[in-house]
Amino acid sequence: MKRYILFLILSIFTTSTYVQGQNNGNARKQRWEEMKAKRTAFYTERIGLTAEEAQVFWPLYNELQEKKGELHRSMSAQFRNSKRNGNKKRVIDYTKATDDMINLRVYEATLEKSYHEKFKAVLPPEKLFRYYRAERDWANQLLKDIEKRGDK
């Protein structure tokens, strides 16, 4: 059953990735979608989600990731929009920038805590533990893949 669910998820994501790649030809977006599909399969297998759990877990997970992404995009935008002096160098208010970075981390931790409560309502404690372990393992796997490719 787990393999069937895993295969189904991979098939859906692979198909949608292929269609999107054909429609817009954007290789970067296609690689991003492929990575998300691999992540979904990785997490599903590591956590051992049932079909019913997956139906509730993935929308919550995606919602959390979108909110965290918005936070990081806003911080990046602040840096990009910083003022430049006459020599075209950025003029940064370091006090504000570092305060904003800490506030971002605090808000991200608050988000994580609130979604932890939501995940607890969906997953048994052992699977929730596996989820957190899968997050760590996925990050480690990405770093290993980057090192293998020699990306900077």
Give pLDDT tens digits for 131-142: 999 999 999 998
- Asked if residue 4 has pLDDT above 50, the reply is no
The DSSP letter of residue 88 is S
Do 82 and 53 touch, CB atoms closer than 8 A? no
Q: Which amino acid is at 14?
A: T
Average pLDDT value over all residues in the chain? 83
Q: How far apart are CA 68 and CA 100, in angstroms?
A: 15
More confident residue, 15 or 57: 57
Structure tokens at 51: 């079909």
pLDDT category of residue 60 using cuts at 50, 70 and 90: very high
| Local structure of 101: helix, strand or coil | helix
pLDDT category of residue 7 using cuts at 50, 70 and 90: very low
Cα distance between the two ends of the chain: 39
Q: What are phi and psi of 139, to 5 degrees?
A: -60, -45
For 131, what's the count of Cα atoms within 13 Å in the CB-facing half-sphere?
20
